[in-house]
Amino acid sequence: MKARIQKTIIIVVSFFLLSGCWDRWELNQLSLIVGMAVDKDGEDYVLTIQAMNPSEIASQETSRGYAQGIDVREKSRTIHESLRKTIQKTPRRSFVSQLKVLILSEDVAKEGLDHVLDFFYRDHEMRSDFFVLIAKDTNAENILNVLTPLENVSALSLFDSIEYSSRSYSSTKILTMDHLFYEIQAVGVDPSIMGVTISGDLQQGLSKKNVEQNMATAFVETNGLAMFKGSKMLTWLSQQHSKNIEYVNSEIENSVKSFTCPGEGKGKLALELTSNKPTATIKLNDGLPSVTYDLSLEATFSEVDCMDLDLAVPSSYEQVEKQAQSEMEADIHEAIVATQKTGSDILGIGQEIYRKFPDYWEQIQDDWYSIYQDLDVKINIDITISGSGSIINSFSEGEH
């Protein structure tokens, strides 16, 4: 009798475990959303979504010549309602787990990210590994609307461009939703978000002609860093300053930087750079903090146009190292000073003080930004050049 009761319980429980996916959606019922752009129109959020067109992507041989990415625009008082309203214009339910890029307008960023990002934190279908960007000098929706060469879905093109740029040029900051949430909530650090803009003729970029010629009329490109205080955007940091900030803000995988030739000879040269992780040392002197950044880089000559530089002589390497170190230290220091003038601690120096001197931070945290603007910052860079590529001196010297 007891065994029969146990079997009955097991069978009943199995009914619940094997009931199937009651809320399932088939793939042909879903629109795979890879890009989102958020603008403001008065009190309403204007949401533009970019979905992949599977019939055009799956097989080029049977394609109808339609766009591979489909943009849909809706507006409402909330982002979630705007997203749901898109079903009125498309025959499929929006599936956001494949989102690659989220682009916010400058107006939205200056108003504050706390409210606009609530949906992206809260929604259970949303993954947090997509890139967050700020549209610069244009509406966010325009970034998705431009037809891009090579990769026909602009959101995927932008995602790949950012990922590869971070590996080979180090001018872009990869910021996922997870990381942004951390920077907004953490003590002693302000967020910084990569800017994205349109170079060239926007109206031509919206036309198919933009990708039917060798030189596209309009490009989508990353440009500068949006600097924040808390969750509100303050202003932009230039592209060159942004690149120099990244040298001390993250580990450089690979980059190229141009320098002046050493000595009195005119000309320029380029070094290909890799680095170990930069270190920041915080000290307190008479109640005032100071920070020293130490950065060690490995380099090789990638381009040389120096008339009086003989790379066959070992001392020439030392001259270039000394010249490059001096210029790079000055460039990075200038970039940090630009953040100090703005009053945005995007390097997280306050966070380092909080971790190392918590009692001191407790005393000065309310006055941190005024202290930060006058903070003594030193940069120490050690560059070791290990090679000159496939040739020694430049072609102008006649040596191969």
List the domain boundaries for the chain.
25-237, 247-400
Percent of the chain with pLDDT over 90: 46
pLDDT tier, 400 (very low <50, low <70, confident <90, very high otherwise): very low
Hey, what are 396's tokens?
Answer: 């102008």
List of long-range contacts for 284-290, beta carbons under 8 Å, 24+ apart: 284/357, 284/360, 288/371, 288/376, 289/349, 289/353, 289/357, 289/360, 289/371, 289/375, 289/376, 290/375, 290/376, 290/377, 290/378
> Among the CATH numbers 2.40.240.10, 3.40.50.1820, 3.30.300.210, 3.50.50.60, which is that of 247-400?
3.30.300.210
CA dihedral 229, 230, 236, 237 (to 10 degrees): 80
The encoded tokens of residue 380 equal 């120490």
| Rg, C-alpha atoms of the chain | 26
Q: What is the 3-state secondary structure (H, E, C) of 54-77?
A: HHHHHCCCCCCCCCCEEEEEEEEC
Question: Bridge-partner residues for 283, per DSSP?
Answer: 290
Q: What is the pLDDT of residues 171-199, one digit of tens each?
A: 778 899 989 999 999 999 999 999 999 88
Helix 314-342 and helix 239-249, axial crossing angle in degrees, nearest 10 = 110
Mean pLDDT for the chain?
A: 84
Predicted confidence (pLDDT) at residue 19 exceeds the cutoff of 60: no
pLDDT of amino acid 300:
92
